[in-house]
């Protein structure tokens, strides 16, 4: 049973969308109309200030007309029932579409979806949300007097979508939540910080932090005051799930978004069916992963969410697509057509991208390392789809000596290398698994929520 | 609708102060693939954003200020939105502060008349020019390009008496050059944000990117190196001013909000560097008045007029960048948003900077220093070993260091350039940085 699936304006407009699609298809081989409403609010409490900042809502109608060559879109802000059909007519009038017969709109399907939640943020008062953040701030700052600030932030995002083409009439209401805690400490050498977060497609029930988690956060922030710079060179490296995830995101994530194939930007296009990593490497993108921050029920082009395997036992088996790139390349569509909001175009985008787990316990994996570095946390990563260079910035790392993790801390720890070399060097994969969430852009724009992750990996890479 | 919102705000006795911002945006987007057009988009939107300031009390009954913000689409429910804003404002507890008072607002040049004459036509023209320019470089192929244009009209009115309007334009252009064939192909990817078409400097940018692309084909592995590092153009601008839509280390550490929270080690009148300055003295203006600067504005979202702030003079911090609230807390003049980075020209020519053997970094994967400490370890996408008049390209390896330490030991060029959010020396040499090859 769905509750408040759509806004009243979207619900009122939904019955008229079929006629709007017909108007588009009176001129174009394929037409679709999407209603999208994306709202988010950020809450912040730190030692000195509080804030509630609603983001600009992006609400609008997107008219799409495609002839197999050029994808035409028009985004109109708001939901005007009065203007819908006129906008559709105006949009396609005067355009000379190529007529290659009707494009396949997919199977007949009518369905509504909604994120399952125990504690829907929409039903919790701002007062209660702020009180929870104040309590978290208090818990963190009481741990150590060297903490100069404990910044606790909470983000709630609600995405409501209706997708209509000739055969599909779909609606989804996706709730995303994210809580981050950033701890700043000051010492003789300056100011340092550490951070942690939890997120998902879920309600507030997932945003709890144990005392142990908060104490570890503060301990690492304080530890950074005395962290050393690592001596540049090649190391045996153990990556935590969040770091493994960024390696996979930047190597066989961005590089296999198939608009990159169309633009001749992807080196991976020359490696289909070829080895790109050790036998232990399996990489997936899965928008249907339960409760993950990058999940949804159908993509922005109406394709149902499901898992796509990108690398199987070290062999590259296929990329992720949207309607345009799949049509142009003549390959199967995957449910990865995503847009930032109604004002932006669709691209093939990652969702939840991760390495598959292995079967080795973590302590056994670390036990294999005589002299190496454990990287528990990243601060950023950058793709290089053509050159296959990889840059992952570890926020810090710990020394591993004789198979044992020590307290010796290095910061920051930059990891670079050539993608096939790094993936080929993976010699052990742990049996655990975790996903870290955040936002991903294409260049400096087109931001969408994603996760990446996997197990711990043992590999060789250049650190500096 | 504007007047209805204003009337409702004036009649609401719970609201101490308010601001209405009304933004109207018209945008065109065109996406090119090789010889064809992938997608053409038109986007129109309109939004009212209202800030309300109310008195609020914390759990101990102490009086403070709370801010509530709502955005209303045309036709939206004004009364219920304002009610939400007031409820939120009363639940947020901060030390008391005020909204900005009216002040003289100078008109800054922010809109490109050429673009406004025919937005869709001008975007097509930019892409056509890019294609035509690329024909001069037969060794590279233009495989994709995107060009967006946006016209935005912003009207701001506040209970304090501010009433101001500004029109801005913004252009975004990205393109991909490929050289070589098969598994040996290489690419360069360019992204440029400007307010004016003429500032895209297409001929110069295309020539530089084409050169980089062909040099990548010849590039060898990285050296291990410690010594002078030369950087120029947009790559230097990103190091100093940060990514176009994000901030830089200097913006972060000079923020009054961080001073208030005790998270910046910088103090007015003290050197921003931890060690002795061995190169040129460092001087920097935070300039929101820069004509056609991407972060420039006649007034910011609080209505604070554009200023040109002398931020760092002879290595010492002269001011913090403060919105009205943190200016009130720290008893200083509000500066409003940071704006562009402006650095005075250096004393020597670019040629002089390059006269001795050095390494030039042409492109990073991403120059992203730690936003508080300035430590960085960034992958080099293309560099040159420069010796005896010869330039040998290389790729890979990491440039390792600390940005503040690097700024304390560098020389700037006499020649200057404008790169959207940076006006200053076109080139610089960092006297001692390390490459991990």
Same-domain check for residues B272 and B212 = no
Same-domain check for residues B293 and B416 = yes
Which of B44, B186, B245 has its CB closest to that of A77? B44
In chain A, residues with a C-beta closer than 8 Å to the C-beta of B370 are 379, 412
Which pLDDT value is given to residue A68? 85
Q: CB distance B143–A59 less than 8 Å?
A: no
B348 to chain A, minimum CA–CA distance in Å?
33
Which of A264, A345, A412 has its CB closest to that of B178? A264
From residue B403, how far is each of B103, B183, B238, B241, B375 by CA, in Å? 37, 36, 12, 12, 6
Which pLDDT value is given to residue A351? 98
A:286-325 residues touching chain B, CB 8 A cutoff = 324
Q: CB distance B91–A52 less than 8 Å?
A: yes
Which of A59, A70, A444 has its CB closest to that of B38? A70
Q: Which of B200, B216, B232 is the last residue of a domain?
A: B216
What are the E-state strand segments in A288-433?
308-312, 315-316, 337-338, 347-348, 352-355, 371-382, 389-401, 404-410, 413-418, 428-429
A:369-408 residues touching chain B, CB 8 A cutoff = 379-380, 382, 384, 386-387, 389-391, 393
Same-domain check for residues B147 and B46 = yes
**Which H or E element spans position B145?**
strand B141-158
- CB of A183 closer than 8 Å to CB of A172: no
Given a cut of 90, whether residue A307 has pLDDT beyond it is yes
Q: CB distance B366–A380 less than 8 Å?
A: yes
Which of A47, A70, A263 has its CB closest to that of B37? A70
Same-domain check for residues B110 and B253 = no
Q: Which segments of A60-152 does DSSP mark as H helices, in order?
A: 84-92, 126-141
Which of B40, B144, B263 has its CB closest to that of A263? B144
B27 to chain A, minimum CA–CA distance in Å?
9
The superfamily (CATH) of domain A8-226 is: PmbA/TldD superfamily (3.30.2290.10)
B45 to chain A, minimum CA–CA distance in Å?
5
CA B281 – CA B275 distance, rounded (Å) = 13
Which pLDDT value is given to residue A102? 63
Q: Confidence class of residue A32 from pLDDT cuts 50, 70 and 90?
A: very high
Alpha carbon B237 to its chain centroid, in Å, reads 10
Q: CB distance B365–A389 less than 8 Å?
A: yes
In chain B, residues with a C-beta closer than 8 Å to the C-beta of A184 are 261-263, 372
Q: Strand A352-355 relative to strand A445-454: parallel, antiparallel, unpaired?
A: parallel
CA A77 – CA A288 distance, rounded (Å) = 29
Which pLDDT value is given to residue B319? 97
Mean pLDDT of A130-152: 95
Q: Which of A183, A387, A441 to mutate to test the interface with B (most CBs of B within 10 A)?
A: A387
Q: Which of A96, A146, A343, A346 to mutate to test the interface with B (most CBs of B within 10 A)?
A: A343
B71 Cβ contact partners less than 8 Å away, ≥ 6 residues apart: A54, A55, A56, A57, B47, B48, B49, B50
Nearest to A456 by CA among A439, A440, A438, A432: A432
Given a cut of 60, whether residue A122 has pLDDT beyond it is yes
CA distance between the termini of chain A:
53
Edge-to-edge order in the sheet of strand B416-418? B316-317, B308-313, B284-287, B340-342, B422-425, B416-418
Q: Which two tokens stand for residue B302?
A: 């609080």
Please, what is the Cα angle at B146 between B143 and B149, to 5 degrees? 160
Q: CB distance B372–A184 less than 8 Å?
A: yes
Q: Which of B169, B200, B216 is the last residue of a domain?
A: B216
Same-domain check for residues B192 and B306 = no
Look up the CATH number of the domain holding residue B209. 3.30.2290.10
B317 to chain A, minimum CA–CA distance in Å?
16
Same-domain check for residues B267 and B187 = no
Which pLDDT value is given to residue A101? 62
Rounded to 10°, the helix B78-91/A126-141 angle is 30
- CB of A457 closer than 8 Å to CB of A426: yes
| A324: closest chain B residue by CA | B38
Q: CB distance B261–A49 less than 8 Å?
A: yes
Which pLDDT value is given to residue B239? 94
Please, what is the Cα angle at B297 between B293 and B303, to 5 degrees? 160
pTM for the model stands at 0.91
From residue A89, how far is each of A27, A48, A86, A94 by CA, in Å? 9, 54, 5, 10
Which pLDDT value is given to residue A145? 87
Which pLDDT value is given to residue A96? 85
Domain ranges of chain A: 8-226, 233-463
Mean pLDDT of A181-204: 92
Q: CB distance B45–A77 less than 8 Å?
A: yes
Of chain A, the percentage scoring pLDDT greater than 70 comes to 99
From residue B275, how far is each of A191, A241, B108, B190, B314 by CA, in Å? 16, 38, 38, 36, 14
pLDDT in tens, A83-119: 899 999 999 998 888 876 667 888 899 999 999 999 9
Q: Which two tokens stand for residue A30?
A: 């394929």
pLDDT in tens, A195-245: 999 999 999 999 999 999 999 999 999 999 999 999 989 999 999 999 999
- CB of B250 closer than 8 Å to CB of B282: no
CB of A210 within 8 Å of any CB in chain B?
A: no
CA A352 – CA A369 distance, rounded (Å) = 29
Total count of domains within chain B: 2
Enumerate the β-bridge partners of residue A182.
Answer: A151, A195
Same-domain check for residues B321 and B404 = yes
Q: Which of B195, B216, B237 is the last residue of a domain?
A: B216
- The segments of chain B whose pLDDT lies below 70 read 244-246
Same-domain check for residues B223 and B265 = yes
Given a cut of 70, whether residue A141 has pLDDT beyond it is yes
Which of B40, B377, B396 has its CB closest to that of A412? B377
| A63: closest chain B residue by CA | B41
Alpha carbon B246 to its chain centroid, in Å, reads 6
CB of A107 within 8 Å of any CB in chain B?
A: no
Mean pLDDT of chain A: 93
In chain B, residues with a C-beta closer than 8 Å to the C-beta of A58 are 45
Which of A270, A389, A464 has its CB closest to that of B400? A464
Q: What is the radius of gyration, based on Cα positions, of chain B?
A: 24
Q: CB distance B400–A232 less than 8 Å?
A: yes
In chain B, residues with a C-beta closer than 8 Å to the C-beta of A71 are 38-39
Which of B172, B377, B396 has its CB closest to that of A389? B396
Same-domain check for residues B226 and B172 = no
Which of B43, B94, B375 has its CB closest to that of A49? B94
Nearest to B389 by CA among B363, B356, B360: B356
Which pLDDT value is given to residue B245? 56
pLDDT in tens, B171-180: 999 999 999 9
Domain ranges, residue B200: 2-216
Q: Is B277 exposed, middle or buried (0-12, 13-18, 19+ CB in 10 A)?
A: middle
Which pLDDT value is given to residue B164? 97
Q: CB distance A412–B397 less than 8 Å?
A: no
Q: CB distance A56–B71 less than 8 Å?
A: yes
| B175: closest chain A residue by CA | A263
Same-domain check for residues B212 and B275 = no
A422 to chain B, minimum CA–CA distance in Å?
14
Same-domain check for residues B169 and B204 = yes
Q: For residue A443, give the DSSP letter.
A: T
3-state secondary structure A299-336: CCCCCECCCEEEEECCEECCCECCHHHHHHHCCCCCCC
Which pLDDT value is given to residue A381? 80
Of chain A, the percentage scoring pLDDT greater than 90 comes to 81
In chain B, residues with a C-beta closer than 8 Å to the C-beta of A265 are 143-144, 176, 178, 187, 189
Mean pLDDT of A302-331: 96
Which of A55, A60, A386 has its CB closest to that of B186? A386
Q: Confidence class of residue A58 from pLDDT cuts 50, 70 and 90?
A: confident
Q: CA B5, B10, B12, B13: dihedral to nearest 10 degrees?
A: 160
Given a cut of 80, whether residue A443 has pLDDT beyond it is no
Which pLDDT value is given to residue B246? 62
Q: CB distance A443–B274 less than 8 Å?
A: no
């Amino acid at each position: 049973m769905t509750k408040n699936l759509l806004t009243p304006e979207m619900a009122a407009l939904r019955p008229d969308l079929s006629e709007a699609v017909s108007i588009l298809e009176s001129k174009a081989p394929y037409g679709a109309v999407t209603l999208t409403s994306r709202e988010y609010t950020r809450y912040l409490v730190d030692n000195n200030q509080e804030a509630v900042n609603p983001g600009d809502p992006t609400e609008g109608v997107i008219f799409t007309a495609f002839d197999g060559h050029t994808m035409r879109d028009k985004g109109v802000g708001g939901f005007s029932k009065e203007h819908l059909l006129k906008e559709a007519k105006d949009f396609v009038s005067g355009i000379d579409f190529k007529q290659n017969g009707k494009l396949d709109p997919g199977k007949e399907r009518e369905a509504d979806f909604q994120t399952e939640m125990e504690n829907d943020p929409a039903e919790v008062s701002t007062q209660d949300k702020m009180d929870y953040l104040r309590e978290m701030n208090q818990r963190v700052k009481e741990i150590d007097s060297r903490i100069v600030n404990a910044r606790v932030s909470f983000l709630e995002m609600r995405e409501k979508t209706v997708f209509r083409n000739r055969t599909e009439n779909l609606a989804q209401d996706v709730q995303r939540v994210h809580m981050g805690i950033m701890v700043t400490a000051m010492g003789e050498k300056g100011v340092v910080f550490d951070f942690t977060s939890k997120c998902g497609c879920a309600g507030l029930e997932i945003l709890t932090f144990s005392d142990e988690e908060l104490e570890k956060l503060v301990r690492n922030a304080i530890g950074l005051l005395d962290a050393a710079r690592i001596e540049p060179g090649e190391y045996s490296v153990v990556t935590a799930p969040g770091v493994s995830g960024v390696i996979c995101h930047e190597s066989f994530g961005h590089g296999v978004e198939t608009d990159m194939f169309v633009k001749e930007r992807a080196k991976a296009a020359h490696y289909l069916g070829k080895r790109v990593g050790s036998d232990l490497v399996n990489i997936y993108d899965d928008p249907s992963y339960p409760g993950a921050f990058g999940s949804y029920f159908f993509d922005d082009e109406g394709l149902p969410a499901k898992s796509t395997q990108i690398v199987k036992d070290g062999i590259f088996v296929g990329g992720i697509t949207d309607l345009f790139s799949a049509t142009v390349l003549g390959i199967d569509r995957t449910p990865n057509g995503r847009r930032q909001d109604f004002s932006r175009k669709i691209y093939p985008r990652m969702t939840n991208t991760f390495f598959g787990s292995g079967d080795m316990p973590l302590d056994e994996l670390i036990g294999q390392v005589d002299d190496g570095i454990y990287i528990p946390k990243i601060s950023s990563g950058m793709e290089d789809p053509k050159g296959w260079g990889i840059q992952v910035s570890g926020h810090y790392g710990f020394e591993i000596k004789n198979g044992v993790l020590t307290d010796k801390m290095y910061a920051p720890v930059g990891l670079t290398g050539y993608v096939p070399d790094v993936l080929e060097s993976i010699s052990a994969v742990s049996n655990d698994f975790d996903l870290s969430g955040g936002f991903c852009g294409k260049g400096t724009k087109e931001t969408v929520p994603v996760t990446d992750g996997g197990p711990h990996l043992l590999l060789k890479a250049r650190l500096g | 609708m504007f007047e209805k919102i204003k009337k409702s705000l004036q009649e609401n006795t719970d609201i101490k102060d308010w601001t209405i911002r009304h933004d109207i945006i018209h945008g065109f987007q065109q996406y090119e693939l090789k010889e064809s057009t992938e997608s053409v988009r038109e986007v129109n939107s309109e939004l009212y954003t209202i800030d309300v300031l109310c008195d609020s009390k914390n759990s101990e009954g102490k009086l403070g200020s709370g801010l509530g913000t709502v955005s209303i689409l045309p036709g939206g429910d004004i009364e219920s939105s304002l009610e939400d804003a007031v409820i939120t404002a009363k639940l947020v507890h901060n030390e008391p502060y005020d909204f900005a008072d009216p002040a003289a607002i100078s008109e800054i040049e922010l809109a490109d008349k050429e673009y406004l004459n025919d937005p869709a036509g001008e975007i097509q023209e930019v892409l056509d020019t890019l294609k035509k320019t690329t024909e001069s470089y037969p060794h590279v192929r233009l495989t994709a390009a995107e060009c967006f244009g946006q016209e935005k009209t912003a009207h701001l009115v506040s209970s304090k008496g501010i009433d101001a309007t500004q029109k801005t334009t913004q252009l975004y252009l990205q393109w991909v050059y490929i050289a070589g064939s098969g598994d040996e192909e290489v690419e360069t990817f360019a992204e440029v944000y400007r307010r004016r078409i003429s500032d895209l400097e297409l001929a110069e940018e295309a020539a530089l990117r084409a050169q980089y692309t062909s040099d990548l084909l010849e590039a060898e592995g990285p050296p291990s190196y410690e010594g002078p590092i030369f950087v120029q153009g947009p790559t230097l601008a990103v190091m100093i001013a940060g990514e176009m839509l994000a901030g830089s280390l200097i913006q972060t550490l000079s923020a009054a909000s961080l001073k208030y929270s005790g998270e910046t080690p910088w103090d007015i009148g003290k050197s921003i560097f931890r060690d002795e300055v061995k190169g040129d003295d460092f001087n920097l203006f935070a300039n929101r008045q820069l004509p056609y600067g991407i972060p420039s504005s006649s007034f910011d979202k609080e209505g604070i007029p554009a200023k040109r702030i002398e931020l760092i003079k002879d290595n010492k911090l002269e001011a913090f960048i403060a919105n009205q609230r943190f200016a009130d807390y720290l008893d200083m003049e509000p500066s409003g948003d940071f704006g562009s980075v402006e650095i005075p020209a250096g004393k020597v020519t670019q040629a002089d900077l390059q006269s001795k053997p050095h390494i030039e970094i042409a492109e990073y994967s991403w120059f992203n220093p730690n936003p508080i400490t300035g430590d960085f370890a960034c992958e080099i996408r293309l560099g040159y070993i420069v010796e005896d008049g010869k330039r040998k390209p290389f790729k890979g390896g990491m440039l390792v260091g600390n940005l503040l330490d690097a700024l304390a030991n560098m020389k700037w060029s006499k020649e200057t350039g404008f790169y959207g959010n940076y006006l200053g020396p076109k080139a610089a040499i960092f006297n001692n940085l390390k490459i991990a090859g």
